[in-house]
A and B are shown apart, each in its own frame.
Chain A
Amino acid sequence: MTSFLIRPTILADTLLRESGSFWLPPSSSSTSPAVDRVFYLILGVCSFFFLLVVSTAVLFVVLYRRRPGREAQKTATHHNLLELTWSVIPLLIVIVIFYEGFVAYMQMQAAPPNSYEILVKAQKWNWFFTYPNGHIDNDLHVPAGQPVRLLLSSEDVIHSLSIPAFRVKMDCVPGRYTYIWFQCDDPGVYELYCTEYCGDSHSDMTARVVVHRPGEFEAWLEEAANFLKKLPPAEAGKYLFTRRCTQCHSDDGTVKTGPTLKGIFGQRHAMADGGTVSVDENYIRESILDPQAKVRQGFQPVMPTFKGILTDDEITYLIEYIKTLK
């Protein structure tokens, strides 16, 4: 509900898009049809051998069930040729599967040289997508019909970026870069999940992938970068709050991983180190930039810093919004 400027046309595109099949979600990237071919190839092999094994077992149980007057018949205790046959046939089949899987995988590895690059930072429990003009978004916006390369990194623990509709997935590992690329030709909204368990709010670490129609992406980027400046500060703060903070903080009194921000402005709170703090603008600012400096009693020091993610203006907007939470 709160992405920077999703055009209604894109929502319409999403509705019109083909839906997935019984087994797979919609196949929407340039490399996903190859993956699906391998998937269905394996599904066919699996179904065939599963039915073969189970029907043979059932048939034997019915035919040769123990009953009066029927003894086990002696048959060969081994038969090398037969056994070699059923070793070699599966071997050939898995070699084919390996090859097909490998070829489709290699397509997913090499990003075309003209790819549009977006920096991705994963941090408990948010995604930050940084665009060439400096705009940081929590959803991934990309142009349709152009290869996109994501350079992944993590601020804290291992996360994993997964977009099922594009059949791509890659871990975001602290201390090193990884990357994936994809090209989506169908404008619309897709889902992005964190698939590597990363702690308390792992299941909240989702985002949307907005694929803009050709030509509309640049306009969106320009607008999004200046979007907040056009709103009243408290409203801009609410906008940021719902996108950057709600994994751990509520604005309605519910206690999550972190304390609720409802009504805290102006209150005095006991801290974990025994002191007390009166919540004012500077305390909120400090808690955003250096969360471990003063931790509320009863809460664990798990909040990551937002230094470099939130600008000074954005912190001001957030403070203005928190002031309105009575």
Chain B
Amino acid sequence: MATAVTDAIGPEASPATAGGNYLTCDRSVRSWVFTLDHKRVGIMFLVTVVICLGLGALFALLIRTELTTPGPTIMTETTAKLAAALSLGDTRMTPQQMYNRAFTLHGAIMIFLFVLPAIPSALGNFVLPLQLGAKDVAFPRLNLFSYHLFVIGTLFFVVTLLMGGIDTGWTFYAPYSVETRTAVTTAVAGAFLLGFGSIFTGLNFLVTTHTLRRQGMTWFKMPLFVWSLYATAVIQLLATPVLAITLLLLAVERVFGVGIFDPALGGDPVLFQHFFWFYSHPAVYIMILPAMGIVSEVISIHSRKHIFGYRFIAYSSVAIALLGFLVWGHHMVVSGQSPLAGMIFSLLTFSVAIPSAIKVFNWLATMYKGSIALTTPMCYSLIFIFLFGLGGLTGLFLGALATDVHVHDTAFVVAHFHYQMAGGVLMAFLSGLHHWWPKMTGRMYNDKLGRYTALWILIGFNLTYFPQFILGSHGMPRRYFDYTKLLDHIPHLTLYQVISTIGGYMFVSGLVMVAVYLIASLRHGRPAPANPWGGASMEWQTSSPPPPHNFDTPPQVGDPYDFSNLVYDEELQGYVRAR
């Protein structure tokens, strides 16, 4: 782009800003808790969701360890007694009840407190205004309020945990969730508040993208991460209220005994599933779309190649967002839904596969004849393609009616879902985190260690979840505490479970390693240049970390994927614009 070459005196040459950057300008606690700076809100979200990830992973390890042997392993009479003694709500707990709570808490924490907010609220908050060349989001106070709602919602989950947890599964299916004596109402109230936080974030991003793009930035000059956040925001805004209403109805039914979902009170349990999936299916696109956005950024920048098929990728994000609203019934093929509805939902479900396939092919085409650096962010994006590819393709078994009936509610679905959510969203999150870490913190991490950890995580991940595909296609139901009775019927059942557990420990230890070297980089990492990877979008035109108002000198709008004017400067160890 000719316009981008004209002025080369940018922040690359003078990284230090008078008055400090956004991290150092004011160090008081108050300045963080009541900040209106989108970057600080993003960092606070980041810290919070990572803590929640740790908690979710802890429950994952409890589940995996328990499943190592067919009968009770670590969840025994003794540990169940201990758990009951520690909780405020229970006097007695059986090993099965303990297991049921563990998988429910794992799912609810991971979905509501990590996977949903991780990319939009943490990374998106930090990056979106920078990529648009804006000083902040459109409604900074609302943005802060989103975070405060998130914290309050999280506290509700903590209270739920202290009260002994819940045992409904993260899907809260009625009438079980109406009847159970565990702390459903508190958990539902938490999810309700989190939902509002999510709606406000979506609204904020939507308005920001419409109104605060830097002059000259047309819709098709926006980085693809912005496109994906925009599409996500549409879903957040339209779908999340349905979840809020559903959870409210559930709470009303539990507290006041009004018959809505429980047939014993005159309600309809299948109605709950319709409501729930009307939100929760689009919600998986709230999770995966921003992930795809990150991968589009990272693959292009770290291959130093213009993204291939920009418009197809941008439109496919919007197509996924819209089609995602029409497929909820594929979760309900065996719920008693009519075969006609099943057929329509199956057909629509397959239509969502196409935009995803387009993206994968476009990413590969982007790498063609590029200059591919296997940096840590690039490794995670490649891992994303591997795992998301497998996860997406196994979705075909679930989209086709005949095979869906067979593998529905088995370990196959668990594996598919984790390939998408942990293999897709978490890997993209790690990719984005490593990609923007220098920008966020002003420090470089140990890239070599990062690459080896990524490889370790890739191996651990596949060991954990691949065996579950095989178990599931043999009919192993999900959410089974004790599989003694299945041993004679599913070949190598215990072997697969043991492999899965070993993989689980590898996977989680890899994540711990990431946390360790990233935190170490804050103290020991070398200072990051403004543009360590050679990105052309506007967040790389400001210092690392950026000043409180994002840009000391006005950033230049150009093609975000034209890297031809960026050259590596040995002295800065980063990229600068060629004069």
Chain A residues near B (Cβ < 8 Å): 19-20, 22-25, 34-35, 38-39, 42, 45-46, 49-50, 53-54, 56-57, 60-61, 64-66, 70-79, 82-83, 86-87, 90-91, 94-95, 97-98, 100-106, 108-109, 156-158, 160, 162, 164-165, 167-171, 173-176, 178, 191, 193-204, 206, 255-257, 298-300
Report Cα–Cα, A83/B92, bound state, in Å. Answer: 60
- B77, B361, B386: which contacts A54 (Cβ < 8 A)? B386
Contact with A along B376-388 (1 / 0, CB 8 A): 0000001001100
Chain A interface mostly? mixed
Q: For residue A46, which residues in chain B have a CB less than 8 angstroms away from its CB? A: 390, 393-394, 396-397
B347 in the interface, Cβ–Cβ < 8 Å? yes
B409, A160: Cβ atoms under 8 Å?
Answer: yes
Minimal beta-carbon separation of A4 from chain B (angstroms) = 18
Q: Is the CB of A61 within 8 A of B360?
A: no
Known: A78-B312, A91-B354. A38 touches B402 (CB 8 A): yes
Report if A203-B371 is in contact (Cβ < 8 Å); known contacts: A20-B474, A46-B393, A61-B382.
Answer: no
Given the complex, which residues of B lie within 8 Å of A39, measured CB to CB? 397, 403, 406, 473
Interface residue from B100, B350, B369, B403 paired with A199 (Cβ < 8 Å) = B100
Give bound CA distance, A174 to B271, whole Å: 12
Q: CB distance A202 to B481 under 8 Å?
A: yes
B38 at the interface (CB under 8 A from A): no
Tell me which of B27-35, B482-490, B506-514 binds A: B482-490
- Chain A residues in 8 Å Cβ range of B361: 83, 86
B contact residues, range: 35 or more
Residue pair B368, A101 in contact (C-beta under 8 Å): no
Q: How far is the CB of B53 from chain A (nearest CB, A)?
A: 24
Q: Is the CB of A72 within 8 A of B303?
A: yes
Inter-chain CA distance A226–B143, complex, in Å, is 71
Given contacts A42-B396, A72-B304, A204-B482, contact A105 B402 (CB under 8 A): yes
B564 contact set on A, CB distance < 8 A: 74
Is A22 touching B470 in the complex (CB atoms < 8 A)? Answer: yes
* Cross-chain contact A195 with B364 (CB below 8 angstroms): no
7 cross-chain pairs, A with B, having the tightest CB-CB distances, nearest first:
A164-B475, A101-B400, A175-B263, A104-B402, A105-B401, A203-B480, A72-B371
Since A64-B303, A65-B374, A203-B477 are in contact, a sample of 17 more A-B pairs with Cβ atoms closer than 8 Å, ordered by chain A residue number, is A24-B474, A38-B402, A46-B397, A54-B385, A74-B564, A75-B368, A86-B357, A87-B354, A98-B346, A98-B347, A156-B175, A157-B175, A167-B402, A171-B336, A195-B478, A200-B100, A200-B167
Closest to B181 in A: A300
Residues of chain A lying within 8 A (CB to CB) of residue B347: 98
The residue of chain A having its C-beta at the shortest distance from the C-beta of B339 within the complex is A109
Across-interface contacts of B179 in A (CB, < 8 A): 156-157
| Complex Cα gap A105–B402 (Å) | 5
Q: Is B217 an interface residue (CB 8 A)?
A: no
CA distance A319 to B91 in the complex (A): 29
Residue pair A158, B310 in contact (C-beta under 8 Å) = no
Please give me the residue from chain A that is nearest to B364 by CB atom. A56
Across the interface, which residues of B come within 8 angstroms of A199, CB to CB? Answer: 100, 167, 176, 180
Interchain CA distance A162-B296 in the complex, whole Å? 41
Q: How far is the CA of A45 from the CA of B365 in the complex (A)?
A: 21
- Rounded to whole Å, the gap between the CB of A225 and the closest CB of chain B is 26
CA gap between A45 and B393 in the complex, in Å: 8
Which of A72, A168, A255 has a CB less than 8 Å from the CB of B305?
A72
24 cross-chain CB contacts under 8 A: A38-B400, A50-B390, A50-B393, A53-B385, A60-B370, A61-B372, A72-B303, A72-B304, A73-B370, A75-B308, A77-B308, A78-B312, A94-B351, A94-B354, A95-B350, A97-B350, A105-B401, A106-B339, A108-B405, A156-B175, A158-B269, A176-B336, A200-B167, A202-B100
- Which one of B311, B374, B400 lies within 8 Å of A97 (CB-CB)? B400
- In Å, the complex CA distance between A156 and B365 comes to 54
The chain A residue sitting closest to B352, CB to CB, is A94
Q: Which residue of A lies closest to B302 (CB)?
A: A66
Q: List the B residue with the shortest CB-CB distance to A23.
A: B473
CB distance from B348 to the nearest CB of A (A): 10
Identify the closest chain B residue to A174 (Cβ): B263
B167 partner residues in chain A, CB cutoff 8 A: 199-200
**Residues of chain B within 8 A of A91, CB atoms compared:** 354
| A15 CB to nearest B CB, Å | 11
Q: Does B87 contact A (CB under 8 A)?
A: no
**B96, B304, B486: which has the most chain A beta carbons within 10 Å?**
B96
Q: B residues 318-356 with Cβ under 8 Å of A?
A: 334-336, 339, 342-343, 346-347, 350-351, 353-354
Nearest CB of B to A43, in Å: 8
